[in-house]
């Protein structure tokens, strides 16, 4: 489990200033997950289809959080389904757990497979809604089903009960087109292009494709290459790295870098000062869609 406030190393070579996590590439086992550097686009995520019925029945059972695995950036939980529609834009809503948190379900008719706390050291608890029913919401989540060396480490999702979360509107999402080398912030019919070139992951450490969301945004002075600009960490992790910089996570992120053109990173998306400033203004939970 994550504790305190250290640094979360991004697979790109960035890190989160949160305790219990490494602050750089040579950090030890207690370092935070690093954003992955960007280069060649990653393989298209292989979705795990989940049968859907018209409406799932209500569930009012009181579950003990102590008996459920915590869903956080370091979680590796075989019960977490891989997102089954990775290129769909999430609905314009963000859910946040009430009270202590919300049980997470792979199947709303079965028992919960995890617990999403109301707060986490590295955030990630404001989650985009991808499907909405009267009693249930399907949301994107942090963590991985397996690590890449053991299977498909793409973006994960899960169901939470509508009664366990607060839902607020989301007026924006980010679209990254690697082939076109553009990054847009989309609000309704309005599209703001904030980058016309950037760097992405190499063939060995590709930038993960599909949808994810902004997990947290932090300034990490220890990472000199950011020149003091914020790092915008995403919920999705590297498709090829089990960990990075001594941390048990390989988080993808947007960040500033002097070298920021082409397939040259460890999976992160490197951008210029204006682009990272615009991305850093977006709230946690904002959906991000990365396409080839």
pLDDT tens, 157-178? 999 999 999 999 999 999 999 9
Q: How far is CA 247 from CA 11, 182, 273, in A?
A: 10, 30, 27
When computed from its CA atoms, the radius of gyration of the chain, rounded to whole angstroms, is 17
Of 108 and 10, the one with more pLDDT: 108
Q: Which of 210, 192, 219, 179 is nearest to 288 (CA)?
A: 210
Alpha carbons 120 and 100: distance in angstroms, whole number: 11
Provide the CA 248 distance to its chain's centre, in angstroms. 15
CB 287 within 8 A of CB 128: yes
Query: Other CB atoms closer than 10 Å to residue 26's CB: what's the count?
Result: 10
CB 260 within 8 A of CB 179: no
CB 47 within 8 A of CB 272: no
Of 61 and 54, the one with more pLDDT: 61
Q: What angle do CA 270, 149, 39 make, to 5 degrees?
A: 20
CB 83 within 8 A of CB 157: yes
Beta strands 262-265 and 251-256 are unpaired
Active centre residues (catalytic): 257, 268
Taking only the tens place, the pLDDT of each residue in 236-291 is 999 999 999 889 999 999 999 999 999 999 999 999 999 999 999 999 999 999 99
Q: Which of 9, 2, 81, 71 is nearest to 46 (CA)?
A: 81
Alpha carbons 36 and 121: distance in angstroms, whole number: 20
Counting Cα atoms < 13 Å in the Cβ hemisphere of 99 gives: 7
pLDDT at 91: 85
Residues of the chain with CATH 2.40.440.10: 8-42+172-291
Output b/e per residue, 257-292; b: 16+ Cβ within 10 A.
beebebbbbbbbbbbbeebbebbbebebbbbbbbbe
Q: What is the mean pLDDT of the chain?
A: 87
Is the per-residue pLDDT at 36 higher than 90? no
Q: Is 8-42+172-291 a CATH 2.40.440.10 domain?
A: yes
Q: What is the pTM of this model?
A: 0.85
């Amino acid at each position: 489990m994550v504790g305190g406030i250290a640094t979360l190393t991004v697979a790109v070579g960035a890190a989160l200033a949160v305790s219990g996590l490494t602050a750089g590439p040579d950090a030890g086992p207690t370092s935070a997950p690093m954003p992955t550097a960007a280069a060649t686009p990653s393989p298209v995520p292989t979705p795990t289809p989940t049968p859907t019925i018209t409406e799932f029945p209500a569930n009012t059972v009181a579950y003990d959080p102590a008996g459920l695995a915590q869903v956080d950036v370091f979680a590796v939980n075989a019960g977490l389904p891989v997102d089954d529609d990775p290129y769909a834009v999430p609905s314009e809503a963000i859910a946040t757990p009430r009270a202590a948190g919300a049980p997470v379900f792979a199947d709303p008719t079965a028992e919960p497979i995890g617990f999403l706390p109301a707060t986490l050291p590295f955030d990630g608890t404001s989650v985009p809604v991808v499907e909405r029913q009267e009693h249930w919401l399907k949301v994107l989540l942090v963590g991985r089903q397996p690590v890449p060396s053991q299977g498909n480490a793409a973006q994960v999702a899960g169901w939470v009960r509508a009664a366990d979360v607060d839902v607020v509107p989301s007026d924006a999402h980010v679209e990254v087109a690697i082939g076109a080398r553009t990054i847009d912030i989309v609000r309704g019919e309005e599209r703001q292009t904030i980058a016309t070139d950037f760097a992405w992951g190499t063939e060995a450490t590709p930038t993960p494709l599909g949808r994810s969301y902004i997990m947290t945004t932090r300034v990490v002075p220890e990472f000199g290459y950011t020149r003091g600009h914020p790092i915008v960490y995403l919920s999705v992790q590297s498709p090829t790295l089990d960990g990075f910089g001594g941390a048990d996570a390989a988080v993808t992120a947007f960040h500033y870098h002097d070298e920021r053109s082409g397939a040259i990173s460890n999976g992160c998306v490197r951008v210029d000062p204006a682009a990272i400033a615009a991305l850093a203004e977006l709230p946690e939970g904002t959906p991000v869609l990365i396409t080839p």
